[in-house]
Chain A
Amino acid sequence: MEASVGWSRRRGRVGVDAPAKLARSPVVDLAVVLSSFAALAHAVAVPAHLRTWPAAGIFFIALALAQAAFAVLLMRDRLSPAMTVAALWATVGVLCLYVVSRTSGLPFSPQMSAHGGRLVAGQSISPRTPEEIGPLDISTLIAELLLVVVLLSVIDRRARTRSANALAAVGIVLWTLGATGVL
């Protein structure tokens, strides 16, 4: 039996083709696993983030739910091409956030969030503190990078070319920020 991936058109109740959906395949199943893993990893990190910075905790809850929902939609063949491209770029956004948080620190985090505490006197702006990198961070990073590649591989050629170009551009921006000491 041949395995394949692709977009399937479902016939609507009135016999009109519904928008194409991403059909199940090993590649899509891989995306399900990767997205589920990322969701689980972010869920595990929720309590610690809620303690140190509640807004981050809420963000992690939302992110975990979104990634879990994405996995479910993938499993149920409910994803349109546009949704898949959106998921790809949402994942790229999360990865960019990760890079900033592990290099220069997030610009909008509370002061010294890593230590717990905010300054009130003197109106200081403290330097941001990069978060530490642990095993869970690394495995989630790998999962999300693979997810980006997998999603890139299943979108249509035109979108893929555009997305690959944009990915390269984002990468160049990150490298430039790293080289100039911003990150």
Chain B
Amino acid sequence: MGHGRTSGETSGETSAEIGTGTSSRRVSDRFSSLTRRDVVKAGVFAGAAVALPAQRAVSARSAVSGRIAQSRLPVPFSIPLTVPPVATPLRTDATTDYYKITMSRIEAEIIPGLRTPLYAYNGAVPGPTIKVRQGRAVKVRFYNNLPPVHETLGYQQWTSVHLHGSPSLPQFDGYASDVTEPHYYKDYSYQNAQPARTLWYHDHGLHHTAENVYHGLAAMYQLTDSSEEALPLPKGEYDVPLILGDAMFNSDGSLLFSLEDDSGMFGDVILVNGRPWPAMKVKRRKYRFRVLNACISRSFRWSLDSGDSFNVVATDGGLMPRPQLVRNIRHGMAERYDVVIDFSKYPVGRRVVMRNSSPKNNENYANTDKIMAFDVVGDAFDPSNNAVPGVLATVNSVMDLTEAQAVRTRNFDFRREGGQWTINGHTWEDVVDSNFDFVEASVNSGDVEIWNLQNLSGGWFHPAHIHLIDFKILDRNGKPPFAYERGPKDVVYLGENETVRVVAKFEGSGKYMMHCHNLVHEDHDMMTQFEVVNPVQVAAHPLSVPCKDIADEDEF
């Protein structure tokens, strides 16, 4: 049978047009038998089927077109640096400091003359810094007073708070699916038994961590101990948090959040402590800067435009055994590097710029090669605590680990697969689908293991974060870790085509997440979990302490 036959020829029977009686018409006649009215009616439907999805897609893609003009952005180094406030406990007792922290929508001026809607911890972006000494517990009641739904992105604004750098119990670790709804609260408990370090607390809510952190739900948490306090490192006003971020703004001042192929969110404005390209007056002495990369997707390779070196004194897990003199740091998201910069070598009036020669696979804009500036002033200063000792930590249980102690080696492959970001081919969905039973690794408490973390792609990088533990980097592609990485870590930069081996001792009990700290990757599901098995100390389930309705609030 082929074209050109009549129906009668086709069937060998008498053709009979049902209803119309026009079986002998040509095909073109047949089409023309669709009246103009029929075509218009079908067109009403076809138009809707084509135009409505297209309009939605175009409006989503044109989000970036609302970006504020470069000319309206502040000139770099024209705005002074500010430091986030320090949180004040609601009350204290012999063992514990109690805080109440509320997440809410605020408006603040980041771009001069414009108001930017943000999400704040206690009204501040970045949120208030919690400071505590080792061994003193902290309990925080986090209230979610955010609007139910994001005003432009349309997602429901649940939250989960993770204290990054703390071996918190599973139920207080900010488990992604342990969310707190708007108008609910949850109490978190932190024991602070670990050595001194720079931590940070930030949102970890399922699928919306990137948006929530981008809008401001991030803050520093500083833990000190007697060993650190005894060192002559800069203290007080000379110990300064620098929380790096990046953002993109609409012309009305609101934040522009745009994802391209889920690969990341890269802003054209570099923020330090929430200020665009700020400048800080520095006296002619040493300063300790606790540099946290709180960006969603951007990594930095930062250095000083003077070309001078500076000392790295601490990494994610606290003091390094010895300071490391470096000229630049490749700084991935969530990594913390505490550095000491000596400004005594510069004359008064000298401006030293912290610049960024961006690592591969970041999106760069006109001024993303600059971070902030230090303007040297001749003011008098306190000369105490103005040194970097040659030895910072004589004993460090993490850095003392050796390869020989490891009882097992495991491999973790961070890759893009089937349109999703995966770890060993798994995503958080596998964890959820298993009713949270699935674990990528089950480790006996007390065991030392080597974890082999791989990023075999050349198209992106993954800062890999393992909850609960501090680890020591053994090598990267078979070579020693960079000098600035020779301290205890909880995030490691997996650059393009890099394989990094880390060694860690697993202590505690329960299920903990590991994920990429490109928060867009994390949200789009490069996250899994492992379990530490301890027959003596059976852990609570991460979902065992749910949030509560603020209307039925308990005493705190």
A interface, CB within 8 angstroms of B: 1-11, 20-21, 23-27, 29, 47-48, 51-52, 77, 81, 92, 95-96, 98-99, 102-103, 112, 115-122, 124-127, 130, 132-133, 141, 145, 148-149, 152-154, 156-161, 164-165, 167-168, 170-172, 174-175, 178, 183
Contacts and interface: CB of A to CB of B under 8 A. Distances in A.
A117 B432 contact: yes
B477 interface: no
A24 B6 CA distance: 8
Nearest to B546: A121
A20 B16 contact: yes
Nearest to A54: B433
B57 A3 contact: no
Contacts of A124: 156, 158, 179, 181
B15 A103 contact: no
Nearest to B150: A127
Contacts of A25: 3, 5, 7, 10, 27, 30
A117 B513 CA distance: 15
Contacts of A157: 19-20, 33
B226 interface: no
A126 B155 CA distance: 7
Nearest to A120: B177
Nearest to B153: A127
A132 B525 contact: no
A34 B149 CA distance: 42
Interface stretch (B39-47, B269-277, B352-360): B39-47
Contacts of A5: 7, 23, 27, 30
Given A7-B17, A27-B27, A145 B49 contact: yes
A132 B57 contact: yes
Interface in B18-57: 18-20, 22-27, 30-31, 33-34, 37-38, 40-57
Nearest to B20: A157
A55 to B, nearest CB: 13
B44 A167 contact: yes
Given A24-B5, A145-B46, A156-B20, 8 more contacts: A1-B5, A5-B30, A7-B7, A8-B7, A9-B15, A92-B45, A98-B49, A167-B42
A20 B24 CA distance: 16
A113 B44 CA distance: 31
Given A115-B525, A153-B30, A23 B10 contact: yes
Contact of B10 (A24, A99, A125): A24
A28 to B, nearest CB: 10
Nearest to B527: A117
23 contacts: A3-B6, A4-B23, A5-B27, A7-B23, A25-B3, A25-B30, A26-B4, A115-B207, A116-B429, A117-B432, A117-B525, A121-B547, A122-B546, A124-B179, A145-B46, A148-B46, A160-B38, A167-B45, A168-B41, A171-B45, A171-B46, A171-B47, A174-B49
B529 to A, nearest CB: 13
B17 A164 contact: no
* Most interface-central of B1, B40, B42, B56 (chain A CB within 10 A): B42
Contacts of A118: 429, 432-433
Contact of B49 (A9, A99, A125): A99
A42 B157 CA distance: 34
Interface of B: 1-8, 10-11, 13-20, 22-27, 30-31, 33-34, 37-38, 40-57, 149, 154-156, 158, 177-181, 184, 206-207, 418-420, 427-429, 432-433, 436, 523-525, 543, 546-547
B547 A20 contact: no
A156 B19 contact: yes
A6 B419 CA distance: 46
Contact of B18 (A7, A26, A121): A7
A99 B47 contact: no
A133 B57 contact: yes
B485 to A, nearest CB: 32
B18 A156 contact: yes
Contacts of B10: 8, 23-25, 77
Contact of B432 (A98, A103, A120, A130): A120
A2 B4 contact: yes
A30 to B, nearest CB: 9
Contacts of A165: 41
Contacts of B7: 4-8, 23-25
Contacts of B20: 156-157
A174 B48 contact: yes
Contacts of B11: 8, 10, 21, 23, 77
B524 A9 contact: no
B31 A153 contact: yes
Contact of A6 (B16, B44, B54): B16
Contacts of A23: 7, 10-11, 15
Contacts of B57: 102, 132-133
Nearest to A131: B53
A145 B50 contact: yes
A2 B45 CA distance: 32
Contacts of A96: 49
Given A1-B5, A122-B180, A148 B54 contact: no
